[in-house]
Amino acid sequence: MKTQTKTLERIYSPIRSELKAADTLLARELSAGAGLMGELTRYVARMQGKRIRPALALLSARLIAGGRNGASGLGREPIALAVAVELIHTATLLHDDVIDGASLRRGLSTLNAKWGNTLSVLSGDYLYSKAFCLLSSLESPGVLKLMSETARILCEGEVAQIHHQYNTALSRAQYLKIIGAKTASLMSACAQAGALLAGATPRQALRLSRFGLQFGLAFQVLDDTQDLVGDEAALGKSLGTDAALGNITLPLIALMESGAADVSKRLSAWYGNGHSPAAEAELLTLLREEVIRRKIPQACRRLAGRFLDRSREALEPFPDSPAKESLLALADYLL
């Protein structure tokens, strides 16, 4: 974990001062609530993530601004955007933990595990409202509209995933559409909005939107793979929840495509008949073993690699700069 942190510190070096300012503002936003709400959001502040979405926004802004703003930094608006997207992302995590029944997030007990589902959902709603208060302070109606549309798409993606729970016939195309909405859309909006606030042309903003979209698809493919074959202690969050909840992800789709008829039949029967915790643990072990035996994690990484190739291609027209180098390094970091 320390090596990962040091790697990200190097990648984030062109926006070090802006990220520091964003962290300060985020801490202030999360500590501003009174009473129980303040207690809940201060607990959320302890769940430090990798800040990938704020970094996408700030690096995209820096890519467009170049050296124009120099030592004075990017200004207030990209920093406010960075905090808003982290609040939106954190809100989705609180809601996801309720839906998934997760007990661990970023190495800490989830809000739902400590305070129950109702307060966890309301805390997520509160973070959404704080995010849009920040976004409404920007002098950019276009960015506010973009982020509002993205919030709608995020919700539609989550609903689509729930609609297709236990659907062992889910296709790759359907899966990619779901993760494009529930994950990649926010990363795309982060990059596009950051660019727009820095004065990007429509073509430049579209290129950064494409970068974020392809980056987000790769991110979710790799995350779904880790959910099945990763190390819970190393990742600091509950694993195995997708398969247990009936969320059909790429590793499961690839497993069923590989001709593992017995596994597919058992999975369908398991979803249809209910199961005990012991049966759940047994089936998750079987799925993990079969996925590894058939080298499916490697295939998922290759697909993620193709998405990342497309994200890098989107940056090709931009002149070389520290910000461009960091965006490319962030793509490499995922793999």
Tell me the per-residue pLDDT of 307-316, one tens digit each, with 9 for 90 and over. 999 999 999 9
Query: pLDDT confidence of 72, banded at 50, 70, 90?
Result: very low
Residue-level pLDDT at 191: 98
Taking phi first (over 0 means left), then psi (-120 to 50 degrees means alpha), and beta for anything else, what does residue 199 get? left
Helix axes 16-30 and 52-65, enclosed angle (nearest 10): 140
Q: Is the pLDDT of residue 6 over 80?
A: no
Give one DSSP letter per residue of 27-53, joined into a string. Answer: HHHHT---HHHHHHHHHHHT-----HH
In this structure, what CATH number is given to the domain that contains residue 206? 1.10.600.10
Confidence at residue 236, expressed as pLDDT on a 0 to 100 scale: 58
Residue 70: per-residue pLDDT: 43
Choice among 89-103, 204-218, 253-267, 293-307 with the minimum mean pLDDT: 253-267
3-state secondary structure of 287: helix
Q: With contact defined as beta carbons under 8 Å apart, do 179 and 153 qualify?
A: no
Q: What is the pTM of this model?
A: 0.91
Structure token digits, residue 268: 């369908």
pLDDT band per the 50, 70, 90 thresholds, residue 71:
very low
Share of the chain above pLDDT 70, in %: 91
Output phi, psi for 258, to 5 deg: -75, -5
Q: pLDDT category, 223, cuts 50, 70, 90?
A: very high
Q: What is the mean pLDDT of residues 60-87?
A: 83
| Closest by Cα among 285, 231, 232 to 263 | 285
User: Per-residue pLDDT averaged across 257-266, rounded?
Assistant: 75
Neighbours of 76 (CB within 10 A): 14
Q: Where are the beta strands (DSSP E) in the chain?
A: 104-105, 108-109
Domain count, the chain: 1
Q: What is the DSSP letter of 104?
A: E
pLDDT digits (tens, 9 = 90+) for 264-299: 777 777 776 666 677 777 888 888 888 999 999 999
Tens-place pLDDT, residues 89-137: 999 988 888 887 777 776 788 888 888 899 989 998 999 999 999 999 9
Question: CB-based contacts of 204: which residues, under 8 Å, 6+ apart?
Answer: 64, 195, 318
In the predicted structure, residue 69 carries a pLDDT above the cut 90: no
Compute the average pLDDT of residues 156-181.
Answer: 94
The pLDDT, as a whole number, for residue 41 is: 86
Mean pLDDT, the chain, whole residue set: 89
- For the cut 70, the answer to whether the pLDDT of residue 237 exceeds it is no
Range of the domain at 311: 2-334
Average of per-residue pLDDT across 159-173: 92
Look at residue 28 and tell me whether its pLDDT is greater than 50. Answer: yes
| The pLDDT value given to residue 274 | 61
User: Where are the extended beta strands (E) located within 240-313?
Assistant: none
The answer to whether residue 158 scores a pLDDT higher than 90 is yes
Query: Token pair of 319, please?
Result: 């002149």
Q: Report the pLDDT value the prediction gives residue 55, as an integer from 0 to 100.
A: 97
pLDDT more than 90, % of the chain: 61
